[in-house]
Amino acid sequence: MSQQTIFYLWDCLQYLINGITQGSLYALVALGYTMVYGIIRLVNFAHGEFLMIGAMCGFYAIRANQPMGVAIILAMLSSGIIAIIVERVVYRPIRKSGRIPALITAIGTSLFFQYFGQLTFGADPKTIPPFMVEKIYTFGEITISNLQIGILLITLFVLFFLWWLTHFTKMGKAMRATSYNLPAAELMGINTNQIISFTFFLGAAIAGLGGMLMGYTMSVEPLMGMNLGTKAFVSAVVGGIGIIPGAALGGYILGIAENMVAGLYKSSYRDGVSFFILILILLIKPSGLLGKNTKEKV
Amino acid sequence: MDYYLQILLLVGIFITLSLSLNLINGFCGQFSLGHAGFWGVGAYSSAIFTVFHPLGLPAPINMLVALVIGFLSSAMCGIVIGVPCLRLRGDYLAIATLGFGEILRIIIMNTELVGGPRGFINIPHWANIFWVYAIATLVVLFMLRLKKSAYGRAIIAIREDEIAAENMGVNLFYYKLFSFTVGAGLAGIAGALFAHTQQFLHPSNFTFTWSVVILVMVIFGGMGSISGSIIGAIFLTIIPEVLRFAGGTIAEWRMTIFPILLIVLMLARPEGVFGTREFLEKNGKQI
Amino acid sequence: MSGKTLLKLDNVTVKFGGLTAVSDVCLEIQERDLAAIIGPNGAGKTTLFNTITGIYPPTLGKVTFNGFDLKNIKSSDIAELGIARTFQNIRLFKNSTVLDNIRLAKHTRIRYGFLSSILRDKEFLEEEKRIKEDSLKLLKLFNMEDKSEMLAKNLPYGEQRKLEMARALATEPKLLLLDEPAAGMNPTETKELTELIHFIRDHFNIAIVLIEHDMRLVMEIAEKIFVLDYGNLIAKGSAKEIQNDKRVIEAYLGSEIEGI
């Protein structure tokens, strides 16, 4: 192997590692999209904005000299609470009007929070310090930071937690029942409104966590939700929207693909590659990689 | 004066744009979220023609050719995107068109010929208010006539019930692709007008947010209503400008009006101001 | 009495994944037949209609209509060949007027092109005028001409079912498939429906096949009855023959038959 090829391979490995980190963040945000879609079949365009609000609150908490742990908890809580309010005030009344009005409402909510964010937090980007003291390890030509490992571990922990929650707790079983068949779950005595609120809270809180973890790679600004939210949403669709492991799979595929293309080809095609994968998946298997195909009943 | 002229220009262009999207979303019921992409393709392709390869003929003839090029290039994109995407339904179609809209914009951004992220400058000022309103009038006429023909009925039937329409002899694929392609092409014409009145194009004019703005105009007036789209385009272009003059907090918060209006509208009247009907229309009156 | 064979199903099987909805069904419908398909819920009746109209292609077997093999033919083209249907859960164009529902169904009979409709030339105007007249005439047969400008969704339930039939007839079919036309109707309405179905057959000279649970209606009007059970065709014959068929009584009719 020539010297050049070896360097090329090292580069690939480095992009792979960066991609896994990025993918973890996409996965965390994608989980919220997928959980909400799974339960009420709504593409919650405002999910990215929940993340932005969480990250903003976290930023102010740090500026008020709160420790990182407190800031993260505050970020998660504020994201979650905003999500509950939005669901209660906006989404719940629209739920019966059909899917397209609901989708449009979600887009409206998303835009509202983007402008709201610009007016209240200011359009200037803000930085959150990394969630722990950064240490960089070098292996040959590649570098890994403890933050990257931390992000991966936290994501895996969240996934494990959700798996446990949905399979072994009463709440989780009620969530699954509601997602299979909402009216039937209601007839079985499940308080579906409560389940939906909880799902919104959980999804948004995880997004808020994602927003805080991102602090070390990107800055916090009012439009971050749109950029990140769109990618996370694409991840959810690629993996199979409504399916929790699908969100993670989609997130990693996108994260890795983006970093590979940006690193090896041209960074301005970074966004293009996610949409390209999206279209490819939609055309080959519209229900996503892990999704089941369903047919309309006549 | 220039300021008012500019707003009037934008109103005319948005009438064409909202009607073109109404054909896809309102009439045919195919939810597209990438309309700004078609608008952009029409704008850029027509400008490439007038900047780099204009014919040695008077400006109005060049402008006509530019409009045709705008229509054809966007319509072609419509076919290329429509053929694979139109078998998707509802949410999935919305997502796919969103993706394609962004891809079109990213391609524009990476094309050095048209200035990439710096924008496309020195586009000749060959269109004016008369062009804009002549085209808008023609498009209104086109839509009115289409609506009251077998084509329009087939397209509307698809929105109302795909399966029933198909069993009544409507070729779903053909009519979906027809509305998608013609809708895209008309957006391309709006793009050509935009390019040759503004003389400057930037990829940020054609983002997802602008797809949403056009969508709001359609929904505000009523999906499937031609008069609705016209009212929507007028109202939603002028309101933010009026609020700008209100000064103080209102001017500052005026951009949040769009989304709030959209949400309130969906909650109070999801079918829009006119529903699927036309202004002063007797036909279809609920008895 | 029975004329030329119109519809022929040869060993038609429809599977969804592991589930066999229709299994090895053979049946024939002649011109001007008035036939019924009966069977318990989930017996595959509607699936059979969906297969005939091209919504679900048969997994195995062959459907022939008027000499054409319907393999790989789109639903819309099948409509043009002359099969029209109604749906179990009414599928009208709800936000269109009654008249537009009918006019749409004339779709495959329209000759003018796209340019004609934009330019509104003579060909367009004449044909549109004819379509409107024909549609109103059809509505008149159903006593609905005074409601032509109403939105379909504002019609009472019974009239929605009637409009669906009128719409199917507007496609000028040779075979009309009615999926549970009497569902949700009271005895008076059902009686009117019986007369209406007879009238349609005689006036339009077409074959009618209906899926129905109302045994009184079926026994009264069907000249030919096909009984499906778990996707299998277990009996066929006249009302008398079906009523005395042991397998049918066992599988399905049982107590209900005593009412007749």
Structure tokens at C248: 């049918």
Q: Which helix (H) or strand (E) holds A144?
A: strand A142-145
Asked if residue B240 is part of any domain, the answer here is no
Residue C258: predicted pLDDT = 46
Contact C167 B168 (CB under 8 A): yes
In chain B, % of residues over pLDDT 90: 63
Residue C257: predicted pLDDT = 46
How do beta strands C83-85 and C232-237 pair?
A: unpaired
> B1 pLDDT exceeds 90?
no
- Helix, strand or coil for residue C25? strand
Sequential DSSP letters for B82-126: HHHHTTS-HHHHHHHHHHHHHHHHHHHHT-GGGTGGG-B------
Residue C125: predicted pLDDT = 95
> B255 pLDDT exceeds 80?
no
Q: Decide if C214 contacts C190 (C-beta within 8 A).
A: yes
Asked if residue A196 is part of any domain, the answer here is yes
Asked if residue B137 is part of any domain, the answer here is yes
In chain C, % of residues over pLDDT 70: 96
Q: Which residue of C has its CA nearest to B139?
A: C118
Asked if residue B141 is part of any domain, the answer here is yes
Contact A298 B163 (CB under 8 A): yes
> A215 pLDDT exceeds 70?
yes
pLDDT tens-digit profile of B227-240? 999 999 999 898 88
pLDDT tens-digit profile of A100-117? 788 889 988 998 999 889
Contact B170 C91 (CB under 8 A): no
- Give how many domains chain B has, as a whole number: 1
Please report which confidence band the pLDDT of residue A297 belongs to, taking 50, 70 and 90 as the band edges: low
Cβ neighbours of A98 in B, within 8 Å: 270
The answer to whether the pTM exceeds 0.90 is no
The CA distance from A281 to the nearest CA of chain B, in Å, is 10
Asked if residue B272 is part of any domain, the answer here is no
Q: Once rounded to an integer, what is the mean pLDDT over residues C159-165?
A: 93
Q: Once rounded to an integer, what is the mean pLDDT over residues B85-103?
A: 87
Residue A126: predicted pLDDT = 86
Contact B169 C80 (CB under 8 A): yes
Asked if residue A247 is part of any domain, the answer here is no
Domain that holds residue A202: 3-30+40-229
Asked if residue A22 is part of any domain, the answer here is yes
* A298 touching C (Cβ < 8 Å): yes
Decide if domain C5-82+173-259 falls under CATH 3.40.50.300. yes
Q: Which residue of B has its CA nearest to C131?
A: B150
- Helix, strand or coil for residue C14? strand
Q: In terms of Cα–Cα distance, which of A133, A158, A135 is closest to A26? A: A158
Asked if residue A243 is part of any domain, the answer here is no
Residue B280: predicted pLDDT = 63
Contact C79 B285 (CB under 8 A): no
pLDDT tens-digit profile of B76-87? 999 999 998 888
Domain that holds residue B113: 2-205
Asked if residue B124 is part of any domain, the answer here is yes
Structure tokens at B197: 């009145």
C-alpha–C-alpha distance, residues C185 and A73, integer Å: 60
Average pLDDT over chain A, rounded to an integer: 89
Residue type at B75 in one-letter notation: A
Structure tokens at A134: 């950064």
Average pLDDT over chain B, rounded to an integer: 90
How far is residue C170 from each of residues C108, C164, C227, measured CA to CA in Å? 10, 10, 29
> C1 pLDDT exceeds 60?
no
Provide the terminal-to-terminal Cα distance of chain C, rounded to the nearest Å: 26
**Among B206, B258, B266, B267, which would you mutate to test the A interface (most chain A Cβ atoms within 10 Å of its Cβ)?**
B266
Residue ranges of the alpha helices (H) in chain C? 45-52, 75-81, 98-105, 114-119, 122-141, 157-170, 187-204, 215-221, 239-243, 246-248
Q: Once rounded to an integer, what is the mean pLDDT over residues A72-82?
A: 95
C-alpha–C-alpha distance, residues C102 and B168, integer Å: 10
Cβ neighbours of C75 in A, within 8 Å: none
Q: In terms of Cα–Cα distance, which of B188, B189, B156 is closest to B175? A: B156
Q: Which residue of C has its CA nearest to B287?
A: C150
C-alpha–C-alpha distance, residues B193 and A164, integer Å: 57
The CA distance from A105 to the nearest CA of chain B, in Å, is 5
Cβ neighbours of B91 in A, within 8 Å: 41, 43, 99, 103
What are residue C30's DSSP bridge partners?
C5
Q: Once rounded to an integer, what is the mean pLDDT over residues A24-35?
A: 94
Q: Decide if B272 contacts B221 (C-beta within 8 A).
A: yes
How do beta strands C232-237 and C224-229 pair?
A: antiparallel
- Helix, strand or coil for residue C223? coil
Highest mean pLDDT among B10-19, B110-119, B202-211, C16-25: B10-19
> A97 pLDDT exceeds 90?
no
Asked if residue A246 is part of any domain, the answer here is no
Residue A270: predicted pLDDT = 85
B13 or B2: whose pLDDT is higher?
Answer: B13
pLDDT tens-digit profile of C106-131? 999 999 999 999 999 999 999 999 99
Partner-chain residue, chosen from B91, B106, B267, that has the shortest CB–CB distance to A99: B91
Residue B143: predicted pLDDT = 96
Other C-beta atoms closer than 10 Å to the C-beta of A66 total 15
- The subunits that touch chain B, with at least 3 C-beta pairs less than 8 Å apart, are A, C
- Give how many domains chain A has, as a whole number: 1
> A266 pLDDT exceeds 90?
no
Residue B287: predicted pLDDT = 31
Provide the terminal-to-terminal Cα distance of chain A, rounded to the nearest Å: 60
Cβ neighbours of B286 in C, within 8 Å: 150-151, 154
Q: Which residues contact C172 (CB under 8 A, 6 or more apart)?
A: C82, C106, C109
Cβ neighbours of B285 in C, within 8 Å: 149
- Cβ pairs bridging A and B (under 8 Å): 111
Asked if residue A261 is part of any domain, the answer here is no
> B130 pLDDT exceeds 50?
yes
pLDDT tens-digit profile of A123-160? 888 888 887 788 888 888 888 998 899 999 999 999 99
Highest mean pLDDT among A113-117, B153-157, B243-247: B153-157
Cβ neighbours of A298 in C, within 8 Å: 46, 50, 55, 87
Provide the terminal-to-terminal Cα distance of chain B, rounded to the nearest Å: 47
Q: Decide if A43 contacts A37 (C-beta within 8 A).
A: yes
Contact C100 B169 (CB under 8 A): no
* B201 touching C (Cβ < 8 Å): no
pLDDT tens-digit profile of C6-25? 999 999 999 988 889 999 99
Q: Once rounded to an integer, what is the mean pLDDT over residues C223-238?
A: 91
C-alpha–C-alpha distance, residues C42 and C158, integer Å: 25
Structure tokens at A18: 């960066």
